[in-house]
Chain A
Amino acid sequence: MTTVRDTSEASAIYHFTVNGEPREAAVPGMRRLLDVLREDLGLTGTKEGCGEGECGACTVIVDDLVVDSCLVPVCQVEGADIRTVEGLSDAEARALSPLQQAFLERGGAQCGICTPGMLMAAQAYLDDGGPANEADIREAIAGNLCRCTGYTKIIDAIEAAAIARDEAIEDDESEDEDEE
């Protein structure tokens, strides 16, 4: 990677992908990823809660890892793959993701301010193969505060999504066996 200078005369241009789409932003390098997403790219699904890394409302996935986007300067995501809540659903099919559907069915969202961040923390957990196990799920969302639900229904939803994921994998495997 080459050295990037962001001087007062001219902002650098930063390049990355958001939900699979190549994007660029000509912004000060110390601008928070949260602000670049919301203000510069118009992706307002990611929420600001505390702005200091305590609440997790601004959680997004950068190169497969959950981060608080309020704590990440955009200069540190050059070339990165960023996923936000806007990327979960299938826009063409107008279908929620299995995780979003589970939140809907289990009552995992109330006021909604924590929901985008909670979904992204849970999605990273599911993508990483996290089990349908309450203790592990609790640790995975320990950095995401919810003041409405008491967490029980959120954990139920993530557990249901993990079970559905595992069943889908088993179905795929049995189909593969049928083909053989």
Chain B
Amino acid sequence: MLEPPVVSPASLSEALSLRASGGYRPIAGGTDLMVQLAADVAEPDAVLDLSRLAELKGVSTDGYEVTIGALTTYTELRHSPVISARLRALAEAAATIGAAQIQNRGTIGGNICNASPAGDTLPVLLAVDAQFDLASVRGERTVQAREFWTGYRQLALTDDELLLRVRFAVDRTRHTRFRKVGTRAAQAISKVVIALSYRSDGGVWRDVRVALGSVAPTPIRATATEAALEGTRPGEAVADQAAQVLAGEIQPIDDVRSSAVYRRSVSARVLHRLLREEGGW
């Protein structure tokens, strides 16, 4: 591997100018890109090191919304009091990624922009209707998580843009759960990853979200399954039906990590388990 040249800008405006000049591949924590470079899968002309952009680090909230800087690491997510209080499922997802060495380096922005269908935080972000703030020298814009992953490793991020931050609404009535199925507890890429979210309106489920990873070319929302749960008080019969809908709705593939049959079956069972745990039956 011949190392590509790299620039480590000290300010966001400089980073955006460089990005606009073309040819620069951004690097955040490097846990994906360094592997791709070593394997010659990625061969960028030059690299844009974002690690000095302090304005892209950390978690904050104004009480209405939580904002996560793109360079916030998984370790920081795990230890953030704001995330623990407002979206524990995201801290749980971060805790399943790699092990300490990866969690200390890998960032939420990297997980989003690497765009692996197996990205562990991505179903959680879909399940809470997260929004992504993007910037370029042309200005800022916001894209819904749901509209961000457009195809296998394809992004709604143009070649001159950088992801700045992730935002989601604070909603005390919303419950969000996360579960990952991998070969072992650490250092495993998921066979299936699933997030479930809903608002409880006196026990009736509203704005239900079911999002999955590793079952399609992108992280997805399972909208037919969501519809099967919307407006219900999920008991065993509803859970049976929702699990069946989910198994029919997703189109997983066979690959090195798992099989389509297993993924379909385990997705349905994990959803069923989450519904049972939430319902307390």
Q: Please give the residue numbers on chain A whose beta carbons come within 8 Å of chain B beta carbons, in ascending order.
A: 1-8, 28-32, 51-54, 56, 59, 65-68, 70-73, 75-76, 78, 121, 124, 139-140, 142-145
Contact = CB atoms under 8 A, between A and B. Distances in A.
Interface in B1-41: 3-11, 14, 27, 30-31, 34-35, 37-39
Given A32-B34, A53-B31, A67 B9 contact: no
B253 interface: no
Looking at chain B, what size class is its interface with the partner chain? 20 to 34
Interface secondary structure of B, over-half rule: loop
B156 interface: no
Query: Counting chain B CB atoms within 10 Å of each CB, which of A70, A71, A73 scores highest?
Result: A71
Contact of B6 (A29, A70, A142): A29
A71 B30 contact: yes
A28 B102 contact: no
Interface stretch (B44-52, B112-120, B126-134, B266-274): B44-52
Contacts of A54: 187
B205 to A, nearest CB: 34
B105 A72 contact: yes
List 10 A-B pairs, minimum CB-CB distance, nearest first.
A143-B99, A142-B186, A30-B3, A28-B3, A29-B6, A142-B99, A65-B104, A71-B34, A68-B101, A143-B101
A71 B35 CA distance: 7
A6 B52 contact: no
Given A30-B47, A144-B99, 7 more contacts: A3-B52, A28-B6, A30-B37, A71-B105, A72-B30, A75-B6, A143-B101
B100 A66 contact: yes
Contacts of A56: 99, 101
